[in-house]
Structure 1
Amino acid sequence: MSFDKNIYLIGMMGAGKSTVGKYLARLLKLRFIDLDVEIEKDANMQITKIFQIHGENYFRLLEESILAKMSSNNSSVIATGGGCILSSKNRKIMSRNGYRVFLKVDIDTLYDRLTKSYTRPLAKSKKQLQSIYNERYSLYCDCDQNVNAVSHPQIVAKKIYDYLK
């Protein structure tokens, strides 16, 4: 299968965008790009440090810039950050240059995943996580495909792959 557009994985922090993205890229034989990793490389610091030192607004501008740069590479699977969808500029880039997939995960699962991993700058409590989810939900749903991402990442990647075939 040949895919001449980018595939953007969109969803909340902890939804599995990076993990699913690696599996999906392998299935499709495409390049995998983790937007958060690219931001950290560009800034030469971890995202938590970017938030601490420069704040969220600076991070979002950096995110826009890196997304635009990475989107020029067609035929890539791109795992976006959870808040990437908030920018109208990012939404235009993604809709124009690719296929957008929302990895849908319930709040309890997200919270469990996030408390077992490293600290996220915007997820300090389940209530705060729910608030962020509510704010972004309609933007997430305005994608080309919505996929329940609670199962194993390989299964989620295969669902997306099968849909794209």
Structure 2
Amino acid sequence: MSEIEHSTASDDTTAPGNGPGRLKKTIVMVGMMGAGKTAVGRALATRLGAPFLDSDHEIETAANMTIPEIFARDGEAFFRKKESQVIARLLVDARGVLSTGGGAFLSEANRAMISQKGVSVWLNAGLDVLWNRVRHRDHRPLLKTEDPYATLKALYDARVPFYAEADLMVRSDAQTSVEGVVDRVLAALATRPDVLEPTE
């Protein structure tokens, strides 16, 4: 991702003439860990000819540490503060597709900032789908508990009401390919002329 860390869009358009449309605001992917924010975000950015950015990656680059290392050394509160700062910068730096960490949208200030300067898209995946995607990964600091499934369920139950405040909602399920989910996102964005202006 280093080649796009500092990418910026032109003032007039971020998408080529043969893309689905011209991007006028940054699209911010929100949702639980395992929802597909990075995979779908990358594919969406490619489809739009726009930069793809990942807030977790940007934080790791700035700190020269991994997210688990930041959590272990500085705690979650410190991480959330840095996360908000990074999201604020990325919303201004480039009109593109931004993937955020699962907890980013819980902050009222982040939600307001994202809706004002961009558009939030909730990738809504069911608990079983999420568990099947994250259960074999050991780099999720919030799931390093004695019962990771119970932890994930508690996070899911607590966070869904916040994700439901997103500007748009798109289903992410086990039966649909990444490109299929991108199609759903583009269909949802088509209802927002302030975000995606169709090409002629």
- The answer to whether the superposition gives a TM-score over 0.5 is yes
- More helix per residue: 1
Native 8 Å contact 1:28 1:161 kept in 2: no
Native 8 Å contact 1:107 1:126 kept in 2: no
Percent identity over paired residues = 36
1:158 alignment counterpart = 183
Please point out which of 151, 165, 177 is paired with 1:142: 165
Q: Secondary structure at the match of 1:45?
A: coil
Q: Deviations over 1:23-75 (max 9, x none)?
A: 00011111100111001001110000000111100100110111111110342
1:126 alignment counterpart = 149
Native 8 Å contact 1:27 1:161 kept in 2: no
Q: Within 5 Å, which residues of 2 pair with 1:1-165?
A: 1-123=21-143, 124=145, 125-150=148-173, 151-165=176-190
- Which one has a bigger Cα radius of gyration? 2
* TM-score calculated relative to the size of structure 1: 0.95
Instruction: After superposing the two structures, state which structure 1 stretch, 13-22 or 67-76, moved more.
Output: 67-76
Give unmatched runs, 5+ long, in structure 1. Answer: none
Could you say what the CA RMSD is over the residues aligned between the two structures, in angstroms? 1.1
Q: Secondary structure at the match of 1:122?
A: helix
Give 2:177's aligned amino acid: H
Separation in structure 1 between the aligned mates of residue 50 and residue 100 of structure 2, nearest angstrom: 16
* TM-score calculated relative to the size of structure 2: 0.79
Separation in structure 1 between the aligned mates of residue 189 and residue 80 of structure 2, nearest angstrom: 30
Q: How far did residue 116 of structure 1 move? A: 2.5
Q: Secondary structure at the match of 1:113?
A: helix
Task: Say how many residue pairs are matched.
Answer: 165
Give unmatched runs, 5+ long, in structure 2. Answer: 1-20, 191-200
Separation in structure 2 between the aligned mates of residue 130 and residue 28 of structure 1, nearest angstrom: 34
Q: How far did residue 119 of structure 1 move? A: 2.2
Give 1:154's aligned amino acid: E
Separation in structure 1 between the aligned mates of residue 160 and residue 135 of structure 2, nearest angstrom: 21
